Copies of this chain bind each other. A is one copy, B any other.
Amino acid sequence: MFSPRSVAVVGASDNPQKVGAIILKNIIVSGFVGNIYPINPRINNIGSMKFYADLNGLPEVPDLVIVAIPAEKVLTVVEEAGIKGVKNMVIISSGFREIAEGVEREKMLTDLADKYAINILGPNCLGFANNVKPINATFGQVVTRSGNLRIATQSGALASSLFDWCGTNELGFDQLVTLGNKTVINENDILEYWLRHPVVAGGNDEGLSGVMPIGLYLESIVEGNKFLELTKKISINNPVFVLKPGKSQGAVEAMRSHTGSMAGEDEVMEQAFIEAGVMRCENLGDFLDLAKGFSWENVPLGPRVAVISNAGGMAVLSADAIEKEKLELSKLSEEAKTKLKSLLPRINNLLNPVDVLGDALADSFGAAMEVVLSETEVDSMLVILTPQLMTQIEKTAEIIGEMSRKYTKPIFVSFVGGGVTSKGEKVLNSLKIPNFDFPERAIRVMGAMHRWQKSRGAISYEDKVYLSEAGLDEGSIRSIVVEGRSSGGVDNMLANQLMEKLGIMVPMSKVVSDINEAEEFAVRVGRPVVLKMSSPNLLHKSDVGGVITEIYDQEQLRRAWGELGKKMEKLNDLTGIKVQVQKEVLGGVEAIVGVKRDSTFGKVMLFGAGGRLAEMLEDKNISLLPMGIEGAKKLVARSKIWPLFNGYRGNEKYNLEKLYELMVKLEALMTKFEEISEIEINPVKITGSGVWAIDAKVLLK
């Protein structure tokens, strides 16, 4: 598909405004060296270029067929292509799943692709471009400069802006693929293809970095686990950065309307990216900045940054940004300071940032850079230039280029202004030295590149296996699930039974029908007790005030009983709500433990602060499953409440073995019992003596 020897364009046209005509022209001018077959039954030829009436009439089976005709006619062409034996198609046409009327049409398209075993890119896409074996099979104005950058995007319009931006910045690329509706070919196919073709352009010889950066714009991810497996393999050698909207409800709705994408939970996605070493960009600006940084500069091997600036204020601002990105300012050696002082006698700032002063000429920049780049304590450099009247903008850019050739340490630049400084930018672009509008944007890129460098070593590639020795009492659990199903859901008492089967303690509790029964129970088990509503339909009982704690005496119990009764009257649906009285577990740390099934990445586990801490702490930590006992330990250690377990201020450390055991059992449970869609234990109370499930919810499919 991406390196065809022959290509047919269905919908090629003599009207230069038509998409088909533009694609045909783009293929020709992009330097494609194979056979081109324009197809349009109304045209015989344009100049010396022969047109064909249909695919059937072609003298060979083309490696690739591009379709740019109205949606209604697409299926006929695909059928025709299938019969002809075509194996690769790009369908540019829109009018499929992204509109209500096109859903059925897209289904039929998929069926045809299956029937004839055709690779289809699109529909509803802009096509693709390959600068290595040149072909521009898009209707966009593609940059033909080759480079090491690879882009796959689910938005064609984003590609148009990217082309424009790459043109201005003189940033070349290797391949760019727009995915459209992803009916047949999706991001995983592209990633797999790129994984198998690791080195095409680049290398340091041409001023490019040694890596092949991959940028992805995705609205949804097809088969999360496949994506994870592929990006992990890629990330060890090449950076993957992604722009993935969907943090807000507004974006989720807009995506559904845009490409018909239904995304999984954003927090799960975020965690998946972390586990795979994939960088998530906050916005389009960051995405483009990373593309430039990774394409042109070596990755900083450590966090220590040296700054050279002809503007004190900018240097000061950059120091804040460096700390924000968890980078550090390098400490200069005494030797370097002495050298700087002798080379630049008027310099007074011998700290880093190095202020070469406002009137610094190009050679002052060069001299300072040379001294600082030779320091062993420097991992990367940022050069900041503001346009003073005497500033030699282009010459400084050239000197930066010299330094970049001489030293392997990565150099990032910010020429700040945008007017007179743009001449310097042009020089920097031609030398493939990444320049950014503002120092803080350069620093964000430096931070991301350094984080990637650190994370790529930490990616876990081992195949994690589900622990069969988790020791589930499967028989008993099965009968609990069956009972839950038959009674319309798992209520509190049934959930408690399940907890006990998982080996976690549950405070004694009882469903009671009147206050005397409650009082009797409290006396029997000892106070304090908790009074709470119990129903499989009432998921957030705390929010409706359905839990009253710290009941120490008869009077308090009476008050609580009355209060709970009043609250229950206010609820719309009282069906099946019961009152439960429970012995209260005092002390300890409240956590939440949960497992559920994400539509993209499958089973995930949640751990964080629970109970009253939860609202204040925003402590939601997710791990994809399987994770095993080691994964459980790591997940708990990521939590903000970890310090409370881990010898807080001289207190004893908690023994968390029981907690880890619970988590592993929950993992096994979700694997063995597909009927269970979600379990949430909130709070889990972890005390010196054990782990208690204070309140557990179990949802069945």
Which residues of A does B touch, CB under 8 Å?
A: 17, 22, 98-100, 139-141, 153-158, 160-161, 163-165, 167-169, 217, 219, 243, 245-251, 253-255, 257-259, 282-285, 310-317, 319-324, 329, 348-349, 351, 353, 355, 358, 386-390, 416-422, 437-441, 542, 545, 547-550, 563, 609, 612-613, 615-617, 619, 640-641, 643-644, 648-651
Q: Are B219 and A158 touching (Cβ within 8 A)?
A: no
- Please, which residues of chain B bring their CB within 8 A of the CB of A386? 157-158, 160-161
Give 9 new A-B contacts, CB below 8 A, not counting A157-B311, A157-B314, A245-B319: A139-B389, A157-B312, A164-B418, A167-B420, A251-B317, A283-B317, A283-B321, A285-B438, A616-B619
Shortest beta-carbon distance, A28 to chain B, in Å? 16
What would be 9 A-B contacts, judged by CB atoms less than 8 Å apart?
A141-B389, A155-B311, A155-B312, A156-B358, A157-B312, A164-B418, A248-B322, A254-B316, A284-B416
Q: Pick the contact of A164: B168, B247, B387 (CB < 8 A).
A: B387
Say yes or no: A650-B548 contact (C-beta < 8 A), given A245-B316, A248-B319, A258-B316: yes
Q: Are A258 and B160 touching (Cβ within 8 A)?
A: no
Q: Identify the interface centre among A156, A164, A317, A390: most chain B CB within 10 Å of its CB.
A: A317
Q: Are B439 and A284 touching (Cβ within 8 A)?
A: yes
CB nearest to A281 among chain B residues = B317
Q: Pick the contact of A650: B139, B141, B329, B545 (CB < 8 A).
A: B545
- Please, which residues of chain B bring their CB within 8 A of the CB of A416? 161, 164-165, 284
CB nearest to A22 among chain B residues = B389
Q: Are B438 and A283 touching (Cβ within 8 A)?
A: yes
- Please, which residues of chain B bring their CB within 8 A of the CB of A311? 155, 157-158, 160-161
Q: Are A165 and B417 touching (Cβ within 8 A)?
A: yes
- Please, which residues of chain B bring their CB within 8 A of the CB of A259? 312
- Please, which residues of chain B bring their CB within 8 A of the CB of A441? 285
Q: Pick the contact of A419: B156, B168, B313, B421 (CB < 8 A).
A: B168
- Please, which residues of chain B bring their CB within 8 A of the CB of A322? 248, 250
A284–B612 Cα distance when bound, in Å, is: 40
- Please, which residues of chain B bring their CB within 8 A of the CB of A160? 311, 358, 386-388, 417
Q: Are A157 and B323 touching (Cβ within 8 A)?
A: no
Q: Are B320 and A248 touching (Cβ within 8 A)?
A: yes
- Please, which residues of chain B bring their CB within 8 A of the CB of A169? 418
Q: Are A285 and B440 touching (Cβ within 8 A)?
A: yes
A160–B359 Cα distance when bound, in Å, is: 12
Say yes or no: A258-B157 contact (C-beta < 8 A), given A165-B419, A283-B321, A650-B547: no
Say yes or no: A153-B319 contact (C-beta < 8 A), given A165-B418, A416-B284, A641-B616: no
CB nearest to A164 among chain B residues = B417
- Please, which residues of chain B bring their CB within 8 A of the CB of A141? 387, 389, 420
Q: Are B319 and A250 touching (Cβ within 8 A)?
A: yes
Q: Are B258 and A315 touching (Cβ within 8 A)?
A: yes
CB nearest to A544 among chain B residues = B650
Q: Are A258 and B438 touching (Cβ within 8 A)?
A: no
Q: Are A245 and B284 touching (Cβ within 8 A)?
A: no
A416–B140 Cα distance when bound, in Å, is: 15
A418–B288 Cα distance when bound, in Å, is: 12
CB nearest to A310 among chain B residues = B157
Q: Are B648 and A155 touching (Cβ within 8 A)?
A: no
A320–B284 Cα distance when bound, in Å, is: 12
Q: Pick the contact of A140: B312, B313, B389, B612 (CB < 8 A).
A: B389
Q: Pick the contact of A440: B284, B320, B542 (CB < 8 A).
A: B284
- Please, which residues of chain B bring their CB within 8 A of the CB of A285? 437-438, 440-441
Q: Pick the contact of A320: B98, B250, B644 (CB < 8 A).
A: B250
A312–B251 Cα distance when bound, in Å, is: 10
A361–B615 Cα distance when bound, in Å, is: 49
Q: Pick the contact of A649: B313, B317, B355, B542 (CB < 8 A).
A: B542
A418–B171 Cα distance when bound, in Å, is: 13
- Please, which residues of chain B bring their CB within 8 A of the CB of A98? 348
A217–B313 Cα distance when bound, in Å, is: 9
Q: Are B324 and A284 touching (Cβ within 8 A)?
A: no
A617–B643 Cα distance when bound, in Å, is: 12
- Please, which residues of chain B bring their CB within 8 A of the CB of A355? 257-258
A442–B386 Cα distance when bound, in Å, is: 24
A547–B255 Cα distance when bound, in Å, is: 54
Q: Are A161 and B387 touching (Cβ within 8 A)?
A: yes
Shortest beta-carbon distance, A316 to chain B, in Å? 4
A658–B92 Cα distance when bound, in Å, is: 71
Kindly list the 5 A-B residue pairs having the minimum CB-CB distance in the complex, ordered from nearest: A155-B313, A157-B311, A164-B417, A248-B323, A258-B312
Shortest beta-carbon distance, A333 to chain B, in Å? 17
A165–B415 Cα distance when bound, in Å, is: 11
- Please, which residues of chain B bring their CB within 8 A of the CB of A617? 616-617
Q: Are A388 and B157 touching (Cβ within 8 A)?
A: yes
Say yes or no: A153-B648 contact (C-beta < 8 A), given A160-B417, A251-B320, A438-B283: no
- Please, which residues of chain B bring their CB within 8 A of the CB of A155? 311-314, 316
A437–B329 Cα distance when bound, in Å, is: 30
Say yes or no: A390-B17 contact (C-beta < 8 A), given A248-B323, A649-B547: yes
Shortest beta-carbon distance, A419 to chain B, in Å? 4
Shortest beta-carbon distance, A251 to chain B, in Å? 4
A416–B160 Cα distance when bound, in Å, is: 9
- Please, which residues of chain B bring their CB within 8 A of the CB of A219? 313, 316
CB nearest to A436 among chain B residues = B285
Shortest beta-carbon distance, A544 to chain B, in Å? 9
Q: Are B545 and A319 touching (Cβ within 8 A)?
A: no
A506–B421 Cα distance when bound, in Å, is: 65
